[in-house]
Copies of this chain bind each other. A is one copy, B any other.
Amino acid sequence: MYRVASIGGDGIGPEILVEGKKVLDAAGEKYGFEIEWTDYPIGADRYLETGELVTEDELKELSAYRAIYFGSIGDDRVRPGVLEKGILLALRFYFDQYVNLRPIKLLHGVSTPLAGKGPEDIDFVVVRENTEDFYVGIGGRFKGRHHADLQVARDLYSVKFGLDAESDAEEIAYQIGVLSREGSRRVMEYAFDLAERREKRVTSVDKANVLSDVYGLWREVFTGVAAAHPTVSTEFNFVDAVTMWFVKNPEWFDVVVTPNMFGDIITDLGAMIQGGLGLAPGGNINPEGTSMFEPIHGSAPKYKGLGVANPIATIWAGSLLLDHLGEHEAADAVVRAIEGTIRDGVVTKDLGGTARTADVGEHVAALIRS
């Protein structure tokens, strides 16, 4: 028996998460375990009603779980950033989920936009640092007449900078990224451990030739961790170059370890080469604490409730969740059933099919049971 928290979130989040749970329940039946789901009503609707994003009580309750199954957040009625930072990033940071694990794998039967590449070429894992870098949320603006977002800041500025000035032409904004040696080390250790169980190659991503302070530290730490894993071969790649090689030679990669922001960028690119966002799962992992599994796509508000969203990314994230709980056999079965479902042509419109969200979930579940 496992207790797992679930957060449907916004837009298509709830409906795809229903399919994910359906599949994980089927896997439980087949492999002899049960999941007790507890749902949390976190998301835009509640935020708009009560102003609450994630409450202190919820954080305390959620910390009793080893896993959270997460749909997606984001809503057109809310300014960009509020839900992302107030919910998704808040959970990643609060639970210190320092590994964002994102497999980039082209499944059989899925087409990639890359000419001449197949499933044997596109099969690697991005290990994205998930708690530091430019995601720490430190920054500010000054010399502006107004700052549309923050009334508080406005009050502050009006004292500091004389906001009765005629113009805000001189306004300046800054943003700070922070990397720690320990924060870099632990995610790299995770990446090297993973590589030792795969093809023993790790690529480090940075831009140390320009952002030399943060990524200079990153490189130093990487060099140290690499020395402690002599059977793993390594290379440094600048982030700009990585985007090229993902497209030109994805077969070169095995494990890619990257700071947070570059990880965000290159995993969306990765999602596209593996067939699209509808297929890309992610795990936010704290090996000692509460981890969280989610599709990497957003909430696609305009498809909400239409039953057309592709639930595969979420179902695959469920497989990562099972893996995390130690149910490796069941986790593998879920991925095989996803491949079977694609082979059977039971796919949504984004993959060229006519199946509905629930059809896909049911087909995957049925294949697992059979």
Contacts and interface: CB of A to CB of B under 8 A. Distances in A.
A178 B182 contact: no
Interface of A: 80-81, 84-85, 89, 111-116, 134-135, 137, 139-141, 144, 148-149, 168-182, 207-217, 220, 239-241, 243-244, 247-248, 261-262, 264-269, 271-273, 276-277
A220 B269 contact: no
A141 B209 CA distance: 16
Contact of A169 (B181, B209, B271): B181
Contact of A141 (B149, B168, B213, B261): B213
A166 B370 CA distance: 59
Contact of A181 (B114, B170, B215): B170
Contacts of A207: 261, 264
Contacts of A137: 210, 212
A179 B170 CA distance: 11
Nearest to A213: B139
Given A113-B115, A169-B181, A181-B171, A269 B269 contact: yes
A180 B271 CA distance: 33
Contacts of A135: 210
B180 A177 contact: no
A207 B177 CA distance: 14
A176 B134 CA distance: 9
29 contacts: A80-B209, A85-B210, A113-B247, A115-B115, A134-B211, A135-B210, A139-B212, A144-B181, A148-B216, A148-B220, A149-B216, A169-B182, A170-B182, A171-B180, A172-B181, A173-B179, A174-B214, A175-B176, A175-B214, A176-B177, A177-B177, A239-B264, A240-B267, A241-B268, A243-B265, A244-B269, A244-B271, A247-B272, A248-B276
